[in-house]
Amino acid sequence: KNHPLTGYRKSCWYEEEIEENLRWSFALNSILHTAATQYQDIALLDTKPFGKALVIDGKLQSAEVDEFIYHECLVHPALLHHSNAKSIFIMGGGEGSTAREILRHKNVEKLVMCDIDEEVVEFCKSYLTVNREAFCDPIMELIINDARAELENRKECFDVIIGDLADPIEGGPCYKLYTKSFYEFTIKPRLNPGGIFVTQAGPAGIFSHTEVFSCIYNTLRQVFKYVVPYSAHIPSYADTWGWVMASDSPLALSPEEIDLRMKQRIKGENRYLDGKTFSSASTLSKAVRNSLDNETEVYTEATASKFGWGMM
């Protein structure tokens, strides 16, 4: 009954509030799957600008066309800076992409992925075809548990521990996995000598880096001797993202050394990261660098209990 129009506009949209006053919207091809787990709501969307997109609790987690930036940055710097990373522990990572990148390293012999939400893991296993192989890899041991509980109960140590968790926000379920005491008394004891810890560290843009990035960095430098923050722009996030790598052994490779180790150790070709890219990513801009240098806040259990999470 209505007017037929030629050249009408796209009519189905995914919309996200990046912050209260800022919105980001993608035209949709379809809504592929939705589910509600015990912990969160989950959806797999087919978006026009960024391909398939995994959305949890109304926030984009990962988009098909550019998740490689996030996952290459999370995984490869730590594994490459380690002299010979054989055993890896992932906190979170239920999507499977972190495991997928780890499994490209020829020297990895043991991989434990510990995510609390079984249904999200099942959802991703079923629908994210790009990670299907990783989920089936015999090296990968999948554990459904709270990452802290799991690390505390385990006896063995790891060469690299990777934090692929939600940001440490007030009232959030992951806050306690970013505190000084957690790093000191849970992470460090589970690292082998020469071991490296790396964590995603939230938005790292010129303004947004003060939300959690600078504080994660400052918390880690209370605990580890060598701490390297780095960042990369991820289009589907509409922001620059940050990671922090930490160790008690030096973390210093030249771009050329990185390129060489990549060639020796990694199956296939990276799409985003190489030696020069990491060199650029770990040279922060003046504003962010100064802000990190001057950060004084530390995530502590005390702060956590202020938020009501201390008892958990």
Kindly identify the residues of this chain, within the stretch 7-36, that bind a copy of itself according to CB under 8 A.
Answer: 8-17, 19-31, 34
Distance of alpha carbon 190 from its chain centroid, rounded? 20
* 239 counts as binding a copy of itself under rule CB under 8 A: yes
State the number of CA atoms in the 13 A half-sphere of 208 facing the CB. Answer: 17
Among residues 16, 72, 39, 110, the alpha carbon closest in space to that of 268 is found at 72
**Tokens 């504080």 label which residue?**
215
Among 156, 207, 256, 312, binds a copy of itself (CB under 8 A): 207
Among 90, 112, 166, 244, binds a copy of itself (CB under 8 A): 166
* Exposure b/e, 5-39, CB count within 10 A at least 16 = b: eeeeeeeeebebeeeeeeeeebebeeeeeeeebee
164 is an active site residue: yes
Nearer to a copy of itself by C-beta: 103 or 212?
Answer: 212
CB of 167 to a copy of itself, least distance (A): 5
CB of 233 to a copy of itself, least distance (A): 5
CB of 293 to a copy of itself, least distance (A): 12
Among 37, 51, 64, 65, binds a copy of itself (CB under 8 A): 65
Catalytic choice (41, 164, 239, 293) = 164
Residues facing residue 105 across a β-bridge: 266
Distances (CA, A) of 215 to 52, 131, 191, 268: 32, 32, 22, 35
Nearer to a copy of itself by C-beta: 156 or 287?
Answer: 287
- Tell how strand 110-115 and strand 140-144 pair up: parallel
Kindly identify the residues of this chain, within the stretch 100-159, that bind a copy of itself according to CB under 8 A.
Answer: none
CB 256 within 8 A of CB 235: no
Kindly identify the residues of this chain, within the stretch 174-193, that bind a copy of itself according to CB under 8 A.
Answer: 174
CB of 59 to a copy of itself, least distance (A): 4
Catalytic residues: 164
